[in-house]
């Protein structure tokens, strides 16, 4: 009888100890989950500090801040068409809040002469290079696009970005945005383009540009949503005449959209000139495609619409 009592006491002790350990584990699990939930809350960025350190104004949207530097000093020609900033010749950097320190995303336009010293400056400033690619082919002079990223305090990030932009000015001997603004000829039927593509564009110095977001994809990097404001968009810039138009732009695509979009563009006589990434830690994975088309405007627009139909982009 005594042995049975002893066995019973041992069994009760084991059960009690197990329950206590389970409770401790549950308590530990709860304590580690709560900070994670709090970390998902984005911390507002100090935009006034950014403006002060950068020494320039910018645009604000949903707590994010963006500066743009048009490359007015570059005289770029492609297939007889002049490429001006609205055609994709502008540097930009956007600052966005995360659950920790702010992050940046940016795209710096560099010439062959600028490329080496500017990328050295990016590394010197403690930022990262996430992509280097072209937008055009047969362009004179040659220009490249260098995407940058990084995280840090507002003051540190702004000083780093300013140093990079100052390096471009130093190498070229002129502030790109201070040069004379060029215009191009545009006699296109913009209402016809709107109706075919299903969106409305804006005119800027003779370039009619469509910017099309991807609200169907919830893209994030470092826990922060990457919006159209941060460069997650498909765009198309037009110039020329109804019979001799040119369109240049960029498609944003998920992995499954890459092949059908390329096929649709090529089948409609629109040249694919680049396929690449812009980011390295994004979720889901996103690919970017640059294209160039010359010909009748209506035909080009219909070709672009067929390519858009291969993505989650729907008409407005």
Q: Do the Cβ atoms of 261 and 307 come closer than 8 Å?
A: yes
Residue 120: Cβ within 10 Å count: 11
Q: What torsion, rounded to 10 degrees, do the Cα atoms 163, 164, 170, 173 define?
A: -130
Q: Radius of gyration over alpha carbons of the chain, in Å?
A: 26
Q: Do the Cβ atoms of 126 and 249 come closer than 8 Å?
A: no
Residue 85: Cβ within 10 Å count: 23
The CA-based angle 39-43-47, given to 5 degrees, is: 160
Return per-residue pLDDT of the chain as tens, 316 residues: 444 544 444 444 444 444 444 443 333 232 222 332 334 688 999 999 999 999 999 999 999 999 999 999 999 999 999 999 999 999 999 999 999 999 999 999 999 999 999 999 999 999 999 999 999 999 999 999 999 999 999 999 999 999 999 999 999 999 999 999 999 999 999 999 999 999 999 999 999 999 999 999 999 988 888 989 999 999 999 999 999 999 999 999 999 999 999 999 999 999 999 999 999 989 999 999 999 999 999 999 999 999 999 999 888 7
Residue 204: Cβ within 10 Å count: 17
Q: Do the Cβ atoms of 171 and 108 come closer than 8 Å?
A: no
Q: For helices 297-308 and 258-267, what crossing angle results, to 10°?
A: 160
Predicted TM-score (pTM) of the model is 0.84
**Phi then psi dihedrals of residue 215, to 5 deg:** -65, -15
The 10 Å CB-count burial string (b at 16+, else e) for 124-136 is ebebebbbebebb
Peptide bond into 284 cis (omega under 30): yes
Q: How far is CA 311 from CA 206, 226, 315, in A?
A: 28, 18, 11
DSSP state of 127: -
Tell me the residue length of the chain. 316
């Amino acid at each position: 009888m005594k042995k049975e009592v002893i066995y019973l006491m041992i069994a009760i002790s084991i059960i009690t100890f197990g329950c206590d350990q389970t409770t401790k584990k549950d308590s530990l699990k709860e304590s580690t989950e709560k900070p994670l939930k709090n970390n998902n809350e984005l911390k507002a960025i100090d935009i006034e500090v950014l403006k002060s350190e950068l020494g320039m104004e910018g645009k604000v949207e949903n707590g994010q801040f963006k500066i743009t530097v048009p490359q007015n000093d570059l005289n770029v020609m492609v297939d007889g068409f002049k490429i001006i900033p609205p055609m994709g010749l502008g540097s930009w950097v956007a600052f966005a809040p995360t659950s920790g320190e702010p992050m940046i995303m940016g795209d710096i336009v560099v010439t062959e002469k600028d490329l080496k010293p500017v990328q050295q400056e990016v590394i010197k400033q403690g930022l990262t290079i996430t992509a280097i690619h072209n937008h055009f082919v047969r362009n004179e002079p040659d220009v490249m696009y260098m995407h940058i990223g990084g995280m840090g305090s507002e003051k540190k990030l702004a000083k780093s970005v300013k140093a990079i932009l100052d390096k471009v000015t130093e190498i070229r001997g002129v502030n790109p945005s201070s040069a004379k603004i060029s215009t191009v000829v545009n006699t296109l039927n913009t209402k016809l383009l709107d109706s075919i593509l299903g969106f409305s564009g804006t005119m800027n110095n003779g370039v009619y540009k469509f910017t099309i977001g991807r609200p169907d994809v919830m893209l994030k990097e470092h826990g922060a949503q990457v919006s159209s404001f941060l460069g997650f968009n498909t765009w198309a810039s037009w110039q020329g005449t109804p019979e001799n138009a040119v369109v240049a732009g960029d498609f944003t695509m998920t992995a499954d959209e890459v092949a059908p979009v390329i096929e649709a563009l090529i089948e409609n006589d629109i040249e694919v000139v680049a396929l690449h990434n812009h980011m390295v830690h994004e979720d889901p994975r996103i690919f970017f495609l640059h294209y160039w088309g010359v010909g009748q405007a209506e035909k080009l627009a219909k070709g672009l619409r067929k390519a858009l139909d291969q993505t989650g982009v729907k008409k407005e």
